[in-house]
């Protein structure tokens, strides 16, 4: 009885085991859930704000009024986000104008100027700034910065008042877009600085040394090598900062006076911010106004998502080049 049974040939397969299939399914579900959440946010804001979008149409973006319906007097509701959108853009741009030069200077300082012993504490300072909650910035901005900033605004008005944007139709310097821009500038400095620093760190060392070897001063080197390499990243960082500034709520609420009007005077105590307006109106909103707020939230969501998309595309492209 010598039966030689050849064992069945082992099946060689790249088919993952059952446990791996489960593992991959779970991880994929987890990974895609962030996309799912974003989609849910968009869906539920649109779903709840749908009627306002339908009734107002494009006027929702361009109109200036935010008036609740007065059924007793037969007045319909009218919701327009135009003034708030404009105001949001103004304070966001002011924040970028004030904040980005300082942030880029700080990034340059950390990358090329600072002595070794100063680098670590300086990075710590930037990290601490990034960790401070916005409500704290709001309180500080209102109670501490505002008295100083009002004085600065008065000086600017006194000496540059002939320029239309620094003109003052009324003597009201507090809670202006100028001050909100200053507070936002301080809040976006950490992120712009850290992105710029990351980008500057990727500047090829041989180019830097080549510039020095050709006798360039430090600034000439930065202008010839660092900026051309890092400009994309700095722009991306600035846009990321802009995105943060556009969506900032609580800090802006404390230092900005919301007025439903488009004014070019940035020193005047009248500005707008979609995010702050939502908080401002939320407390006393009826069902219809709540829908308008949802619609406003959707617009804000789209705007910030768009700015962030562009910023991330620019940053990723710059980072890959390095």
Q: Which of residues 40-69 bind another protein (CB under 8 A)?
A: 40-41, 44-45, 47-48
By the rule CB under 8 A, 186 interacts with another protein? yes
Stretch 145-184: interaction string toward another protein, x if CB under 8 A = x--x--xx--x-----------------------------
Query: Can you give the length of the chain in residues?
Result: 322
Q: Is 67 helix (H, G, I), strand (E, B) or coil?
A: strand
184 or 263: whose CB is closer to another protein? 184
Of 233, 235, 241, 236, the C-alpha closest to 92 is: 241
Min CB(72)–another protein separation in Å? 26
222 or 256: whose CB is closer to another protein? 222
Residues of span 68-87 touching another protein by CB under 8 A: none
Min CB(212)–another protein separation in Å? 11
Among 4, 19, 117, 162, which residue sits at the site for another protein (rule: CB under 8 A)?
19
177 or 247: whose CB is closer to another protein? 247
Of 26, 30, 13, 79, the C-alpha closest to 292 is: 79
By the rule CB under 8 A, 290 interacts with another protein? yes
By the rule CB under 8 A, 275 interacts with another protein? yes
What does the alpha-carbon distance between residue 85 and residue 205 come to, in Å, rounded to a whole number? 44
By the rule CB under 8 A, 34 interacts with another protein? yes
What does the alpha-carbon distance between residue 163 and residue 186 come to, in Å, rounded to a whole number? 26
What does the alpha-carbon distance between residue 277 and residue 260 come to, in Å, rounded to a whole number? 10
Residues of span 106-145 touching another protein by CB under 8 A: 106, 108-110, 113-114, 122, 125-129, 131-140, 142-145
Residues that bind another protein (rule: CB under 8 A) add up to a total of: 95
Sign of the torsion formed by the C-alpha atoms of 35, 316, 95 and 259:
negative
What does the alpha-carbon distance between residue 301 and residue 291 come to, in Å, rounded to a whole number? 15
80 or 243: whose CB is closer to another protein? 243
DSSP secondary structure code for residue 136 in this structure: H
By the rule CB under 8 A, 16 interacts with another protein? yes
Residues of span 215-234 touching another protein by CB under 8 A: 217-220, 222
By the rule CB under 8 A, 301 interacts with another protein? yes
Dig out the tokens for 212 from the structure: 């020095």
Task: Report whether 83 contacts 60 (CB < 8 A).
Answer: no
Residue with tokens 């510039």: 211
What does the alpha-carbon distance between residue 277 and residue 294 come to, in Å, rounded to a whole number? 12
Min CB(220)–another protein separation in Å? 6
Task: Report whether 251 contacts 157 (CB < 8 A).
Answer: no
By the rule CB under 8 A, 23 interacts with another protein? yes
What does the alpha-carbon distance between residue 294 and residue 51 come to, in Å, rounded to a whole number? 10
Q: Is 66 helix (H, G, I), strand (E, B) or coil?
A: strand
Of 51-59, 79-87, 163-171, 271-279, the window that binds another protein (rule: CB under 8 A) is 271-279
By the rule CB under 8 A, 279 interacts with another protein? yes
Among 157, 175, 197, 244, which residue sits at the site for another protein (rule: CB under 8 A)?
244
| Contacting residues for 65 by C-beta, under 8 A, at least 6 apart | 78, 79, 80, 260
């Amino acid at each position: 009885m010598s039966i030689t049974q050849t064992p069945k040939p082992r099946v060689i397969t790249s088919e993952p085991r059952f446990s791996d299939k489960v593992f991959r399914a779970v991880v994929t579900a987890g990974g895609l859930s962030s996309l799912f959440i974003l989609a849910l946010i968009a869906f539920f804001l649109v779903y709840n704000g749908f009627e306002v979008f339908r009734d107002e149409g494009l006027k929702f973006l361009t109109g200036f009024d935010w008036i609740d319906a007065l059924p007793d007097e037969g007045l319909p509701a009218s919701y327009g986000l135009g003034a708030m959108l404009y105001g949001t853009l103004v304070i966001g741009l002011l924040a970028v104008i004030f904040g980005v030069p300082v942030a880029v200077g700080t990034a340059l300082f950390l990358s090329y100027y600072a002595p070794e012993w100063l680098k670590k504490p300086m990075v710590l300072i930037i990290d601490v700034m990034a960790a401070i909650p916005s409500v704290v910035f709001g309180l500080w901005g209102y109670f501490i910065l505002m008295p100083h900033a009002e004085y600065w605004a008065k000086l600017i008005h006194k000496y540059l008042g002939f320029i239309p944007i620094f003109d003052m139709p009324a003597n009201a310097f507090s809670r202006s877009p100028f001050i909100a821009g200053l507070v936002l500038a301080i809040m976006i400095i950490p992120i712009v600085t850290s992105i710029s620093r990351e980008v500057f760190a990727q500047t090829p060392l041989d180019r830097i040394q080549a510039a020095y070897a050709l006798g360039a001063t430090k600034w000439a080197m930065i202008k010839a090598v660092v900026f051309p390499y890092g400009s994309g990243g700095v722009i991306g960082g600035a846009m990321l900062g802009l995105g943060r500034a556009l969506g900032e709520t609580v800090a802006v609420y404390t230092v900005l006076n919301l007025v439903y009007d488009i004014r070019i005077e940035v020193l005047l105590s009248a500005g707008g911010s979609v995010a702050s307006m939502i908080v401002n109106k939320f407390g006393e909103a009826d069902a219809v106004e709540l829908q308008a707020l949802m619609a406003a939230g959707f617009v804000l969501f789209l705007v910030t998502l768009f700015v962030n998309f562009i910023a991330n595309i620019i940053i990723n492209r710059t980072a890959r080049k390095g």
